[in-house]
Amino acid sequence: MVVWIPAIALASMITGGVLTWLYARSLALGDVNRDGEVNILDVKKVKLAYSGLIEEPRADLDDNGVVNILDVKKVKLIYSGIL
């Protein structure tokens, strides 16, 4: 598995900057399994989290505290290139 992290984000993450953490997270939005791309595996993982079969905090793509149908819709939109 390859996880791509921009050098600028990595440097700031080492110093613990919150803004950089948000920056790094936004770059990876939708990449729930952190394999470096948003694909059907991420959609599947969000669906599993939504159904309660797995616990995956990264599946909460809109940061509202729950994994619901809106998160499933969002990862599908990211995967399809609409977002």
Binding site for Ca ion (CB under 5 A): 31, 33, 35, 42, 60, 62, 64, 71
Least separation in angstroms between residue 31's CB and Ca ion is: 4
Least separation in angstroms between residue 74's CB and Ca ion is: 8
Place of tokens 């969000």: 46
What does the alpha-carbon distance between residue 56 and residue 60 come to, in Å, rounded to a whole number?
Answer: 8
Report CA torsion sign: 26, 35, 39, 48: negative
Least separation in angstroms between residue 16's CB and Ca ion is: 25
Q: Is the CB of 11 or the CB of 66 nearer to Ca ion? A: 66
